[in-house]
Structures are given as C-alpha cells and as structure tokens.
Amino acid sequence: MIMDTGLSSFIKKLPLSYRKLKAIEEIGNEVYTLKFERKHEFLSGQVVAITTDLSIPPRLYSICSGTEEDEMAILFNVKHDGLLSPLLAQQKAGANLHVSAPFGAFLGDEEPAWWIASGTGVAPYRSMLRSGLHQHKKLIHGGRARDSFYFEQEMMAAFGDDYIRCCSQETGAGLYEGRLTKWIREQEVEKSGMKYYLCGSAEMVVEVRDILIGKGVDIDNIMAEIYF
Amino acid sequence: MEKEPLFGKTPEQLKTLVQSLGMPAFTAKQLSEWLYKKHAHSFDDMTNLPKAARELLNEKYTVGLVENTTVQTSSDGTKKYLFPTAGNKFIEAAYIPDEDRATLCVSSQVGCKMGCLFCMTGKQGFQSQLSAGEIVNQIASLPEREKLTNIVYMGMGEPFDNLEGVMKSLEVLTSDWGLAMSPRRITVSTIGMIPAMKHFIENSECHLAVSMHTPFHDERRKLMPIENVYPIAEVIETLRSYDFGKQRRVSFEYIMFKGINDTPKHVKEIAKLLNGLRCRMNLIRFHPIPDTPLLSSTEETIQEFREGLVKKGIRTTVRASRGQDIFAACGLLSTKELVKQQASDF
C-alpha cells in the first residue's frame, strides 16, 4: 500500500489539475525534461507538485521553463528507490499529468548574483535565464560526469565565460576538474553587492554556504533551495 | 545478504510473515509479545515457540534490537548514546533526566536534508532514513528504558521527511500490543513540512512542536531553506484549522540568535502570527557550532524576550541547557567525508 505523505491534502488550496504531457526527453543519463500544458502565471524559481496518478503521492519539482513560454517544463532524474520518478520517466506525449499551481519563494531577480547548482538543481536557473534574468550572473554547475551539465549549449551561449562546469569524476574540454566546492574555495568572492543562490542537494548547499560564510559573505546575501 | 529485523513490525506484518513461513497465525501474537513486552534479544529466548520455528526464524531474520556502542555522560547526568544502524552508520539519542522526569531525544534519520544554518546534523547531509524499528530501538535498547517518562523526536533528522518510519514508530510506541506509551508523553518536532504535518495531526494523538526561530519570511528563508516552500505563516494558518484542546499540545521552538531574531520587533510579530492559537513557546539558548556566524543571545535579552511574549499572552519558557559538556563531541563530523564519497552529486 502506498502511504500518502500528506501533499495531496495540503494542495487542496493548490489543487492538482490535469495537464496534457506535450513532450518528454532524456537529456542525460536517466535525467529527463517533461513539458506540459501551462495554465498558471508563475515566477521563475517556483516549484509545482506533480504526480502521474492520484494514488501516487505528488512530489515537488522546480520549473525549468521561462515565465513567458506557452508550455511549462520540469527537470528530474530517476530515483530508483523512489515511487514517482520511475513512473514519470515512462510517460509518453499525450499522457495526463496531475499538476499543482506554482508556488515557492526561491525567486530570481535582476541583481548581480552567482547561481550555484548541483545536478538537477540547475532547473530554477534555467527558468530564470529563460525569463530574462541572466544579466550580471555567473552560473556554477557541479556534476559527477561529462553528461551532467544539463542544458549545456544553452547555458554556454547565455553565460559564456561565466558558465563554470565543475566535474568531479571525469575530464573534458572546458570542464573544471574537481568538485564545485573546490572551485569556490579557490575564488575571491564579493562580500557585498553580490547574491549567492544555492540549489541542489543538502550536502552541496550546506558545504557551499559554509565556504561562503568563511570567506566573509553575509548570510543575508545567501539564498538556498534544497531538493528534499 | 543481511537478515531482516523483526523489531518495529506490527502484529499484522508479523502475521503475514509467519504465515509465509508456514507457521500458524497465532505465532505472530507470541512474537509481538516477545518483541515489545518481554524485550527478547534473540529467537532462542522465545521459549514458547517450537524449536523448529525458532530455527527457521533464526535462518531468515534477526530480532533487531541493537545495543549502543558508545555513551558520553555529562556532569549534569545527561547521556548521549550512539546506536549503529543499517549500512554501518550511526545515530544519536540523548537521555535527559530531570527530577521526576526523564526524557529521551530520538533521531528519525541518519543526517538531514533540510540544511538549517544553525544545525550540526545538517552538516553531514542526508545519509538514510531510519526504519520504525531503528527509531523504537533507541528507546527499547536504552539502559534507562524503565525510567523514561517522555520521548521527543528532536534528534538527528527531520521527522516529517521520514513520515512513514515515524508514523510506524509511533504506532509501535503507543499501541497496546507495543510499548503502550501514552501519546501525551511523546512530542514530534518539525521545521514545518506542512503536508506531512497535516498527516501527522490527523493520524496521531502525540504532541507537536514546530521550529519557528523567526516570524519573518525573509529572515527565516536564510536560516531555514524550507521557508521557501512552506512558509511559517502558512504552517501556522494550517494549525489553526485543527483543534488543539487541553490534552494535545502544539508548541513552537525558538533558538535565540544574537542580533538576528531577538528584538522587540520579533516579539510583536510573533504575537501577531500566533494570535488566537492555543500554544506555547520554548526559547532555546544557541550553542555555537563550527562555520556558523550565529551567536547566542545574552541571558538578559532572552529573559526580556520571554517577558515580552508573556505580556502578549503567550505562555513562554526558556529551555534549560543540558549536557553542554558532551554535545560538542558528537561524532557527527567523523562521518562527513564518508558521506561525501558515497553520495555527493557534485
């Protein structure tokens, strides 16, 4: 029996409604984008709750599409011990998804910032990029393998030299060899006038936050979103 | 292959299990009594089971009670126990005696995903969920088990991020067939995962504690990333739709950080947020951890803050600091490197 973790009842005020799946694409090893009908306005950086079937508890995913796009998209990786993501990966265009209204407060703005992500934590930054908020930003993306840098071409075109790909287990042209924490440790950081956005696993967020604080960055300038 | 532990299973689960082994259904009731009433540590102790049944159980399962490997004792009598869990990991349980009360603070996860700025557990990231058996084992295998009066889920991990394990553990703790504890002796603490909190309120009679730490959204986002998704104002609004009568309690935890969340402005906002909600507030002194810019408020500020809240009609206490001389040596950092090698995605 599947345990309802309560999200279904929570989102009574953010009711799940049908969205037609427009496209599903595997963009990395067991990493997918899902594109579906859009019915709500949203702010870049927000999340939606999604499930394939009302008997499966929904989970939260960051939106990775822009605020002016006709369709909404999310990025997810398959967790083999999870219930929903393996099912999401099997969906075909035309399938019905159950999707909540967008919510959340990890929001982008036009101020100078470093956008720091591990794995699929790059999703909200892609939404911010596609919503026109990428000026004066540096994107630092950490991944294990060469193919971990999702939306790589798009990011390279948008950020140029301000797109840093830190690869911890493989090497390749244009990649920084090592974990993103190592790269950040090696940098001079601006202590004021710069925001630092962190998105991804708890391990990355906590470690990067400690490094930034150690370098003198005020906690008021650090924003974090953890994928739980 | 590791044998599956039976400790933590419900009589219904045990019934399915014994029947799959070709044993009569009533064996489940016998097993349940040995596990939860008689504290058997091995199948060989279960003398009313046929020898063949004990041998079969021994072959496929373990009882699942696990002794602590380390204990640190504070000068004030507080003890911190280290229990091994699946996958060669460790969790902590803190035993806190206090006159006629004895409280055990239990862990619900190995590590934590929530990344709160002030939390030591968060620094090792998330390693794994605890099973119901591993949660209840902290109580059942405690040397001071018979003295316990209260259980608080305030150790390692966010309980509502392991809702399934926590709810099952509460069932074992409070059922007549289990440890038969009163739910009024148990408090589960959360940082405010609203969906799971609703499930808990609707399916349990235990007390609830919510970590507030500041009433202001922008400030709380910096201390607690969960605020981005489940803001404290919505947590409190959700609580208003439930009846917390005299028997069941909701309380708010508030760690006092110098110059951050300890001003009259905070008192005023807390009073506004909690207006009309039957609850109490626990103020907690902060004990600094490495790499954190936060400091504890002064004693004077803490007392003024408490008085300010009391004047606003909020029942407020300042939690006594316990076991300070052992909390620093918690052993959490020793696993940090291991975790990164195994689980990091960056």
Domain residue extents for chain B: 4-62, 70-343
Alpha-carbon distance of B225 to A106, in angstroms, equals 9
Distance CA B212, CA B200 (A): 18
Instruction: Please provide the distance, in angstroms rounded to a whole number, between the alpha carbons at the two ends of chain A.
Output: 22
- pLDDT given at position B259: 96
Size of interface A-B (CB pairs under 8 A): 125
Judge whether B105 counts as a catalytic residue.
no
Q: Is A219 close to B293, i.e. CB distance below 8 A?
A: yes
At B124 the pLDDT is: 82
Q: Which chain B residue has the Cα nearest residue A118?
A: B346
Whole-number pLDDT of residue B295? 93
For A120, name the nearest residue in chain B, comparing CA atoms only: B345
3-state secondary structure A1-70: CCCCCCHHHHCCCCCCEEEEEEEEEEEECCEEEEEEECCCCCCCCCEEEEECCCCCCCEEEEECCCCCCC
The pLDDT confidence band at residue B245, using thresholds 50, 70 and 90, is: confident
In this predicted structure, what is the pLDDT of residue B325? 78
Distance from CA of A221 to the nearest CA of B (A): 9
- Is residue B92 annotated as a catalytic residue, yes or no? yes
CATH number of A7-99: 2.40.30.10
> In this predicted structure, what is the pLDDT of residue B333?
43
Q: Which CATH architecture has domain B70-343?
A: Alpha-Beta Barrel (3.20)
- In angstroms, what separates the C-alpha of A222 from chain B's closest C-alpha? 7
Catalytic residue among B33, B219, B304, B330: B330
Mutate to test the interface with B, among A5, A176, A179 (most CBs of B within 10 A): A5
CATH topology of domain B4-62: DNA polymerase; domain 1 (1.10.150)
Q: Which of A122, A203, A211, A221 to mutate to test the interface with B (most CBs of B within 10 A)?
A: A203
Q: Sorting pLDDT into bands at 50, 70 and 90, what band is B328? A: low
B175: pLDDT strictly greater than 80: yes
pLDDT at B238 over 90: yes
Whether the per-residue pLDDT at B289 is higher than 80: the answer is: yes
Domain A113-226: CATH architecture, name and number where available: 3-Layer(aba) Sandwich (3.40)
CB-based contact, A51 to chain B, within 8 Å: no
For chain A, residues with pLDDT lower than 50 are 1-12
Given CB atoms, is A21 within the 8 Å cutoff of chain B?
no
| B191's tokens | 């940082």
Distance separating alpha carbons of residues A44 and A105, to the nearest angstrom: 9
Question: Hey, which residues 86-145 in chain A have their CB within 8 Å of chain B?
Answer: 103-106, 118-119, 142-144
Rounded to whole angstroms, the Cα distance separating B260 from B117 reads 13
Is 60 exceeded by the pLDDT of residue B50?
Answer: yes
Nearest CB among A168, A201, A220 relative to B125 is that of: A201
- CA distance to A44, A67, A132, B126, per residue, from B339 (Å): 32, 37, 37, 8
pLDDT bin (cut points 50, 70, 90) of residue B346 is: confident
Topology match between the domains B4-62 and B70-343: no
For residue B141, the model assigns a pLDDT of 96
Residue B335 confidence class, pLDDT cut points 50, 70, 90: low
Find residue B142's DSSP bridge partners. Answer: none
- Return the closest-CA partner of residue B111 out of A83, A207, A181: A207
Cα B295–chain centre separation: 25
- Using the predicted structure, report yes or no on whether residue B336 has a pLDDT greater than 80: no
- Chain B residues bordering chain A (beta-carbon distance below 8 Å): 111-115, 117, 122-123, 125-126, 161, 163-164, 167, 194-200, 202, 217, 221-223, 225-229, 231, 238, 291-293, 339-340, 343-346
Higher pLDDT, A95 or B320: A95
The answer to whether A222 contacts chain B (CB < 8 Å) is yes
Coil, helix or strand at residue B52:
helix
Chain A segment 142-201 residues within 8 A of B by beta carbon are 142-144, 166, 168, 179-181, 200-201
pLDDT at A20: 95
Average pLDDT over residues B112-141: 93
Six token digits for residue B62: 């373990």
Distance from CA of A9 to the nearest CA of B (A): 7
Distance CA B112, CA B121 (A): 6
* A119:B199 CB<8 A: no
Lowest mean pLDDT among B13-27, B263-277, B313-327: B313-327
Model pLDDT for residues B83-92, shown as the tens digit of each residue = 999 888 899 9
CA distance A115 to chain B (A): 14
Average of pLDDT values for B119-143?
93
ipTM of the predicted structure? 0.85
pLDDT of residue B337: 43
Confidence at residue B52, expressed as pLDDT on a 0 to 100 scale = 94
Q: Order of strands across the sheet with B70-73?
A: B70-73, B79-85, B89-98, B101-105, B150-153, B186-190, B207-211, B250-256, B280-285, B315-318
The pLDDT confidence band at residue B334, using thresholds 50, 70 and 90, is: very low
What chain B residue is nearest to A8 in terms of C-alpha separation?
B195
Per the confidence metrics, is the pTM higher than 0.95?
Answer: no
The residue-averaged pLDDT of B313-324 equals 90
Interface test with A, best of B257, B344, B346 (most A CBs within 10 A): B346
Domain boundaries, chain A: 7-99, 113-226
Rounded distance, CA B256 to CA B283, Å?
A: 7
Residue B310 has pLDDT above 90, yes or no: yes
Distance from CA of B328 to the nearest CA of A (A): 18
Q: Identify which of B126, B161, B231 has the shortest CB distance to residue A105.
A: B231
> In this prediction, what percent of chain B has a pLDDT beyond 90?
82
Reply yes or no on whether the pLDDT at B326 is more than 90.
no
Q: What is the pLDDT of residue A9?
A: 45
Average pLDDT, chain B: 92
